[in-house]
Structure 1
Amino acid sequence: MGEFQGRTIPELRIAQSADGVVTMTLDRPEKKNAVTLAMWRQIAATVDALNKDETARVIVLCGAGTDFCAGADIGEFAELRRDAGTARAYEDANSAAFAALRACRLPVIASISGVCFGGGFGLAAACDIRLGATGAVFAVPAARLGLAYPADAMADIVAACGPQMARYLSFSGARLPAEAAHEAGFLLELLTDKAALDDRTNEIARAIAGNAPLSVGASKASIRAALSGRDDDLARARTLGDATFDSADYAEGRAAFLERRPPRFIGR
């Protein structure tokens, strides 16, 4: 087993396997894994640290127990999100968490069971791949709380499930069953139960971890550039793509193909 070397907090557990699969678990099951301000900050810090860790290949984001995440911890709002000024500071922290997942060089898989509400929905939307279990429930309940989502989080939601579904969820506050989330494209796959979800998540994560990291990172950057259309994203994708052709992994991939053996990629 690998070992994450960065700092963390008890409410965010990190486990790293020998093949580079990093599992990041929101660990407040008694609160349906509602995210505190400290957790928002730690998510961003942890992903940033993993982004620099050459042994990490893929991140799995999940919740402890039966639920993914009930969203931000409303119990903190009276103090930390009580008006526009405090809300802006609070949203800087959760926006940083979303941005860290979105911009991380590593693919991020959200493994979702139970509730996936509010900020939890935002975290899942910022991930690259989302898998769900039957019985999972999704909601964007901002209108029922009288607050607004950060624009960057809403952009992730639009990209993940389409503008019409984003409007419906955010305007109505309705709860969406897993089957509808799958039909909308928010979920890549819908599994029969939590055990099947865990197995399939591990299968996909290990498949990604076994591929060339530079190639996977370049693909993630290219997809982001295709979605954003930004010149800086396009330039970054081009640079990362060019780098794959000068890498030892490209030579290894060609050699392994010709020798009919599994490749051994090192990420360089």
Structure 2
Amino acid sequence: MQLSTDKILAEIDGAVGRLTINNQERRNAISLEMWEGMEQALDVFAADDAVRCVVITGAGDKSFAAGADISQFEKNRANAEAASRYSAVSLGARHKLLGFEKPLIARIRGFCIGGGLGIALTTDIRIAAEDAQLGIPAARLSIAYDGTNLSNLINLVGPSKAKEILFTAKRYTAAEAHAMGLVNQVVPVDELDAAVAEITDAIAENAPLSLRASKLTINELAKDTGERDRAMMKDLSDTCFNSEDYQEGRRAFMEKRKPVFQGR
């Protein structure tokens, strides 16, 4: 799949889209062009009905993503005006990740730092190898994150733990990250791919409309009560019950066979 940069790789393997952060010489640090490439890849995956879920990972075995590419700071984030332009592009990609309606899974090895952790926090399920290190060193660079980034962190670990992560700029082990809720699973390095495949295989067998309804409804319920779109949540439920897939699911259950869902 051709994107505007070769530092973001996108491929489709059956029902699974794979987005690879490919900047190994910089521990998969993320440049401006890479944020743009991520948006392009997500658009392709969203438009392909055969894709049931997407795995985001880092190239190689050293890093998921080591945050923003600091070598670009002098050019792209030298002052508030330049940083604002950079933020507009990166924020667009993060909003695309947050608004992506299919399940997103982060496959984490090695460093998952700063903006890299920010990407992982936009996914629905995070599976980490035992060698993963996670943290947000913003305080060491005098960087402040906006509400979009921090709300994801707070939703997972709570305000107090989020403050600890930001105040200390500490790197946490995979086990520590799991204990605080940053990741769903921690597995040995040689079992990481199998653990991810177990999740993606299970997702691929299930009804796309139900997956979409579950994701969007849970995301909506995570909002403050007054901000929830109850009409949208009801519409998601009605769409499932009125679908051909609902009829197929009922028939398959009665016939004691696996259903074949079409997403309609």
* Residue from 185, 191, 205 that aligns with 1:189: 185
Q: Quote the Cα distance in structure 2 between the aligned partners of 1:7 and 1:174.
A: 35
* Residue from 48, 53, 56 that aligns with 2:43: 48
Q: 2:203 is matched by which residue type in structure 1?
A: I
Q: CA RMSD in A?
A: 1.4
Deviation at 1:236, TM superposition (A): 2.5
Deviation at 1:161, TM superposition (A): 2.5
Q: Is 2:253 the partner of 1:257?
A: yes
Q: Quote the Cα distance in structure 2 between the aligned partners of 1:78 and 1:9.
A: 21
Name structure 1 gaps, 5 residues minimum.
none
The 8 Å contact of residues 95 and 150 in structure 1, kept in 2 or not, is answered as no
Deviation at 1:107, TM superposition (A): 0.5
Q: 1:145 is matched by which residue type in structure 2?
A: L
Give the match's secondary structure for 2:5.
coil
Deviation at 1:231, TM superposition (A): 4.1
Q: 1:173 is matched by which residue type in structure 2?
A: A
Q: Is 2:109 the partner of 1:113?
A: yes
Partner of 2:243: 247
Give runs of ≥4 in structure 1 deviating > 2 Å.
Answer: 6-9, 229-238
Q: Is 2:150 the partner of 1:154?
A: yes
Q: Quote the Cα distance in structure 1 between the aligned partners of 2:204 and 2:156.
A: 23
Partner of 2:24: 29
Q: 1:178 is matched by which residue type in structure 2?
A: A
Deviations 1:198-219 (A, max 9, x none): 1110110111011000000000
Name structure 2 gaps, 5 residues minimum.
none
Partner of 2:69: 73
Q: Give the TM-score of the pair, scaled to structure 1.
A: 0.94
After TM superposition, the structure 1 stretch with the greater mean CA deviation from structure 2, 228-237 or 91-100, is 228-237
* Residue from 88, 94, 101 that aligns with 1:98: 94
Q: Quote the Cα distance in structure 2 between the aligned partners of 1:158 and 1:31.
A: 28
Q: 2:242 is matched by which residue type in structure 1?
A: D
Partner of 2:55: 60
Deviation at 1:232, TM superposition (A): 5.7
The 8 Å contact of residues 112 and 132 in structure 2, kept in 1 or not, is answered as yes
Q: Quote the Cα distance in structure 1 between the aligned partners of 2:5 and 2:116.
A: 18
Q: Quote the Cα distance in structure 2 between the aligned partners of 1:80 and 1:168.
A: 29
Q: Quote the Cα distance in structure 2 between the aligned partners of 1:21 and 1:144.
A: 37
Q: Is 2:159 the partner of 1:170?
A: no
